[in-house]
Structure 1
Amino acid sequence: MNEVLFFGWNKYPIFIKNKPDKITKPIQFKFENENENENEKQIKQISSSNVSTIFLFKNGKAIEYLNENDSKQKPEKIQIEENIQKVTIGDENVAILTIKGNVFAKGKDINQDNPKKFINISSLIEDTNDRIIQDIVSGWDATYLLTSNQNVYGIGANYHGQLGSETLEKTQKPILMMKNVSKIFSGNCSTCVFLLNLNQELFGCGANFSGILGLGESKKEEAIQKLTKIQNIPKGKIIDIQCGNYHSIMLIENENENENENPKRKLYSCGDYHWNGFGKNENTYEFTEIKSSLFENDDNILEISVAYKHTLILTSKGKIIGFGLNDYGELGTGNTEDQLIPIQIELPKLRFNENISNYHVLCGAFHKSFIYYSSPSFSNLEEDLIKLFERKEFCDISFKTENGEIIEAHKLILKYRLKDYENQIEKLQEIISKNQLKNPIKYLK
Structure 2
Amino acid sequence: MESLIYVGGQKESIQFLFDPLDSNLPKMTQVSNEQIQNQREIKKIVSGNRQNFLLWRNNNTLEFYRKGKPMKQFSIKNEIVKGIYSGYTTYLILTESGNVFSLSEKAAYHEVPLDDPENSTFDEIRPIPFFNEEENNRKVQSIAMSGWSSYYVCKDGTMYGNGFNKGRLGDGTKNAHQSKPVIIYKSVSRIFSGVQGYCVFIITTDDNILGCGSNRCGRLGIGNTKDCSSPINVPKLDLKGSDILDISCACEHTVILTNEGKTFSTGQSSDYNGTGTSALYFNEISAFKDKKIIKIDTGTFITLALTSQNELYGWGFSTEEFYSRNEFKTKQKNGKWILPIKINLPQVFQNNSLPLNFSCATRKYFLYMDLNSCVKEDFRNLFESKKYYDSIISLSNEKESNNEIKIHKMLVELRTKLKIDQIQKVLNENNINTEELKLFLKWIYFDEINNSNALKKIFNFLNLSYPPENGLEKDLSRLFNDEDSKDFKILIKEDEEYEEEGEEDEEAFEEIPVHKIILLARSGLFREMFENLNEKEKKINQIKDYSGKSFESLELLIKYFYTDKIELTADDDPELIFEELNDSIEYYLLNKNSNFNTELNKCKTFN
The answer to whether TM tops 0.5 is yes
Tell me by how many angstroms 1:130 deviates. Answer: 4.1
Q: Which amino acid aligns with 1:4?
A: I
Tell me by how many angstroms 1:161 deviates. Answer: 2.0
Q: Which amino acid aligns with 1:343?
A: I
Structure-2 change in CA distance of 1:266 and 1:188 (3 Å): closer
Structure-2 change in CA distance of 1:381 and 1:186 (3 Å): same
**CA–CA distance in 2 between the matches of 1:92 and 1:346?**
31
**Alignment partner of 2:227 out of 223, 228, 239:** 223
Q: Which amino acid aligns with 2:283?
A: T
- 2:167–2:174 contact (8 Å) kept in structure 1: no
Q: Is 1:103 matched up with 2:109?
A: no
Map 1:229-378; keep pairs closer than 5 Å.
229-235=233-239, 237-253=243-259, 263-280=260-277, 283-292=278-287, 295-297=288-290, 299-327=291-319, 339-350=337-348, 353-356=351-354, 358-365=355-362, 367-377=363-373
- 1:139–1:189 contact (8 Å) kept in structure 2: yes
- 1:8–1:328 contact (8 Å) kept in structure 2: no
Q: Which amino acid aligns with 2:280?
A: Y
**CA–CA distance in 2 between the matches of 1:40 and 1:276?**
33
| Deviation string, structure 1 residues 72-115 (Cα, Å, up to 9, x no partner) | x5433246333433211111331111233211123231343313
Match of 2:178 in 1: 171
Tell me by how many angstroms 1:346 deviates. Answer: 0.4
Tell me by how many angstroms 1:44 deviates. Answer: 0.1
**Alignment partner of 1:113 out of 118, 125, 128:** 118
Tell me by how many angstroms 1:380 deviates. Answer: 6.4
- 2:218–2:266 contact (8 Å) kept in structure 1: no
Q: Is 1:48 matched up with 2:47?
A: yes
**CA–CA distance in 2 between the matches of 1:213 and 1:384?**
38
What SS does structure 2 have at the residue aligned with 1:28?
Answer: strand
**CA–CA distance in 1 between the matches of 2:351 and 2:61?**
26
Q: Which amino acid aligns with 1:243?
A: C
Match of 1:402 in 2: 517
Q: Which amino acid aligns with 1:46?
A: I
**Alignment partner of 1:75 out of 71, 75, 82:** 71
Query: Superposition RMSD on alpha carbons, in Å?
Result: 3.6
| Deviation string, structure 1 residues 39-87 (Cα, Å, up to 9, x no partner) | 26601001111152111111111212235xxx8x543324633343321
Match of 2:192 in 1: 185
**CA–CA distance in 1 between the matches of 2:267 and 2:519?**
51
Give the structure with the larger helix fraction: 2
What SS does structure 1 have at the residue aligned with 2:217?
Answer: helix
TM (norm. structure 1) is: 0.72
- 1:202–1:229 contact (8 Å) kept in structure 2: yes
- 1:187–1:243 contact (8 Å) kept in structure 2: yes
Tell me by how many angstroms 1:198 deviates. Answer: 1.8
| Moved segments of 4+, more than 6 Å | 382-385
Structure-2 change in CA distance of 1:135 and 1:355 (3 Å): farther
Q: Which amino acid aligns with 2:301?
A: K
What SS does structure 2 have at the residue aligned with 1:340?
Answer: coil
Q: Is 1:207 matched up with 2:214?
A: yes
| Deviation string, structure 1 residues 117-176 (Cα, Å, up to 9, x no partner) | 543226447894643222211110011112222322212222242242314332232222
Q: Which amino acid aligns with 1:63?
A: E
- 1:130–1:148 contact (8 Å) kept in structure 2: no
Q: Provide the identity percentage.
A: 24
Match of 1:6 in 2: 7
Q: Which amino acid aligns with 2:213?
A: G
Structure-2 change in CA distance of 1:92 and 1:403 (3 Å): closer
- 2:82–2:95 contact (8 Å) kept in structure 1: yes
**CA–CA distance in 2 between the matches of 1:46 and 1:188?**
13
**CA–CA distance in 2 between the matches of 1:407 and 1:74?**
37
Point out where structure 2 has 5 or more consecutive residues left out of the alignment: 16-24, 323-327, 382-475, 477-514, 525-556, 565-590, 592-607
- 1:164–1:205 contact (8 Å) kept in structure 2: no
Q: Which amino acid aligns with 2:257?
A: L
**CA–CA distance in 2 between the matches of 1:53 and 1:383?**
33
- 1:304–1:312 contact (8 Å) kept in structure 2: yes
- 1:132–1:148 contact (8 Å) kept in structure 2: yes
- 1:121–1:174 contact (8 Å) kept in structure 2: no
Aligned residues: 365
**CA–CA distance in 2 between the matches of 1:401 and 1:226?**
56
**CA–CA distance in 2 between the matches of 1:418 and 1:268?**
42
Map 1:112-151; keep pairs closer than 5 Å.
112-116=117-121, 118-121=125-128, 123-124=130-131, 128=135, 130-151=137-158
**CA–CA distance in 2 between the matches of 1:201 and 1:223?**
20
Q: Which amino acid aligns with 2:293?
A: I
Map 1:19-58; keep pairs closer than 5 Å.
24-32=26-34, 39=38, 42-51=41-50, 52-58=52-58
Give the structure with the larger strand fraction: 1
Structure-2 change in CA distance of 1:200 and 1:401 (3 Å): farther
Q: Which amino acid aligns with 2:160?
A: Y
